[in-house]
């Protein structure tokens, strides 16, 4: 993303993966909608390794309309990578994302702009009436509830691809893996204002869904990662060190029990542990101490990595500064 975003420009970033039949109708809808807003518009299609001729169509659309730009990946890198590439190319002061499958209704664009201008930094779409089969909607509800409980960012639909951002948000975030669905969580962790907007959801007209059950497994693992990044990303030793001290303490407690057992054995051998029990306690205590030490040293290494990273990126987010009179 350019250092200076254009406040008079709206950037629409659209990841594309085998959506040839949807692209022309989608652009036509977008063109009709944005004719009624007070911003200039650019449309950035990011072809994530399509094999159905989507890129050829993107090139044709770009040749006909100077507002259209295209980015093509060498292969399929995933939606997060496509969004990251689109964000870097976007030049607008407000950036919106929507899917290319026509299920996101472009007529919601003015509503997103109104929400952003109302003071929000991130606006996440909420498919309040979702026209998808239950094998997609039910796991999604469970996942969204779980994300809210873990991260304290309560949105009805973290997975919705229809979102709007101020450009400042995207400058401070880096997406990888499947992190695109957690942008509101990551933004909230940086202090940005996050909200949601109920949107009109439409049934799929062309192609087929790209998501299966693997999506939810990956989503759960990414949720663990995001929770760690937002809570302990700049102080990993607070988490790893705490576990290390706890585990090491349990190990030393086992050693202390063996010491007490030795004293008891001197007084009354019948009251002490047997040799086999003592061996088990010794091995367990030694393993706990070694495991706790590994937690502590891993935490120290993580702190070194974070310290190095902080030299490249500020650990805070500034929204405004006062101007000194010259």
Q: Which residues contact 321 (CB under 8 A, 6 or more apart)?
A: none
Query: What pLDDT is attached to residue 322?
Result: 44
> Rounded to an integer, what distance in angstroms lies between the CA atom of residue 74 and that of residue 48?
8
pLDDT mean over 177-197: 86
C-alpha 156/C-alpha 163 separation (Å) is: 13
**What pLDDT sits at residue 99?**
93
What pLDDT, on the 0 to 100 scale, is given for residue 316?
55
pLDDT at 318: 62
* Count, residues in the chain: 326
What number is the average pLDDT over the span 312-317?
57
Map residue 254 onto helix, strand or coil. helix
Q: What average pLDDT does this structure show over 226-248?
A: 85
Identity of the highest mean pLDDT range in 81-85, 130-134, 316-320: 81-85
Section 214-223 average pLDDT: 73
> Is 61 within 8 Å of 20 (Cβ atoms)?
no
Query: pTM value?
Result: 0.74
The pLDDT confidence band at residue 148, using thresholds 50, 70 and 90, is confident
- Residue with more model confidence, 150 or 109: 109
- pLDDT at residue 142, as a whole number: 83
Q: Once rounded to an integer, what is the mean pLDDT over residues 167-174?
A: 87
User: Is residue 166 scored above 50 in pLDDT?
Assistant: yes
Q: Which two tokens stand for residue 83?
A: 């969004």
Q: pLDDT at position 285, please?
A: 94
Structure confidence at residue 326 (pLDDT) = 56
Cβ 69 vs Cβ 46: under 8 Å = no
- pLDDT at position 105 is 94
Q: How far is CA 177 from CA 79, 84, 107, 188, 219, in A?
A: 9, 11, 30, 19, 10
Q: Look at the block and give the residue holding tokens 């001290």.
A: 245
Cα–Cα distances (Å) from 186 to 2, 150, 161, 166, 302, in that order, read 21, 13, 16, 14, 20
Asked whether residue 229 carries a pLDDT value surpassing 80, the answer given is no
Cα–Cα nearest to 84, from 179, 201, 215, 188 = 179
Share of the chain above pLDDT 70, in %: 88
Q: Which of 84 and 136 is assigned the larger pLDDT?
A: 84
> What pairs with residue 109 in β-bridges?
none
Lowest pLDDT segment from 58-67, 134-143, 278-287: 134-143
Do 271 and 264 touch, CB atoms closer than 8 A? yes
Q: Which of 189, 136, 135 lies closest to 160, judged by CA?
A: 136
User: What residue ranges do the domains of the chain occupy?
Assistant: 6-232, 236-310
Where is pLDDT greater, at 25 or 315?
25
Query: Do residues 69 and 45 touch, judged by C-beta distance below 8 A?
Result: yes
| Contact of 49 with 73, CB cutoff 8 Å | yes
Which fold would CATH assign to domain 6-232? Spore Coat Polysaccharide Biosynthesis Protein SpsA; Chain A (3.90.550)
Task: Report pLDDT digits (tens) over 253-271.
Answer: 999 999 999 998 888 888 8
Give the end-to-end CA distance of the chain in Å, rounded to a whole number: 31
Q: For 197-204, what is the mean pLDDT?
A: 87
How far is Cα 239 from Cα 156, in angstroms, rounded to an integer? Answer: 29
**44-54: pLDDT as tens digits:** 999 999 999 99
């Amino acid at each position: 993303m350019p250092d200076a975003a254009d406040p008079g420009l709206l950037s629409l970033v659209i990841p594309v993966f085998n959506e040839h039949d949807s692209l022309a109708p989608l652009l036509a809808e977008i063109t009709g909608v944005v004719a009624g807003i007070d911003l200039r518009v650019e449309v950035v299609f990011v072809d994530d390794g399509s094999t159905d001729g989507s890129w050829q169509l993107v090139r044709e659309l770009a040749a006909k309309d100077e507002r259209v730009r295209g980015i093509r990946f060498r292969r399929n890198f995933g939606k997060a990578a496509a969004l990251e590439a689109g964000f870097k190319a976007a030049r607008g002061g407000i950036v919106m994302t929507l899917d290319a499958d026509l299920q996101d209704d472009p007529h919601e664009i003015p509503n997103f702009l109104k929400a952003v201008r109302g003071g929000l930094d991130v606006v996440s779409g909420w498919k309040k009436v979702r026209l998808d089969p239950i094998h997609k909607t039910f796991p999604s509800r469970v996942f969204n509830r779980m994300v809210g409980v873990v991260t304290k960012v309560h949105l009805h639909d973290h997975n919705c691809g229809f979102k709007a951002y101020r450009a400042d948000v995207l400058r401070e975030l880096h997406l990888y893996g499947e992190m695109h669905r957690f942008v509101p969580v990551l933004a909230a962790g940086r202090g940005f204002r996050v909200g949601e907007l109920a949107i009109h959801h439409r049934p799929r007209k062309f192609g087929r869904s790209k998501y299966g059950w693997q999506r939810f497994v990956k989503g759960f693992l990414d949720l663990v990662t995001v929770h760690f990044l937002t809570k302990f990303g700049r102080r990993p030793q607070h988490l790893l060190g705490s576990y290390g001290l706890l585990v090491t303490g349990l190990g030393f407690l086992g050693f202390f029990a063996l010491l007490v057992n030795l004293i008891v054995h001197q007084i009354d051998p019948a009251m002490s542990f047997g040799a086999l029990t003592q061996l088990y306690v010794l091995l367990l205590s030694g393993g706990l101490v070694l495991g706790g030490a590994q937690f502590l040293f891993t935490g120290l290494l993580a702190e070194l990595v974070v310290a190095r990273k902080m030299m490249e990126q500020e650990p805070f987010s500034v929204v405004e500064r006062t101007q000194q009179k010259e």
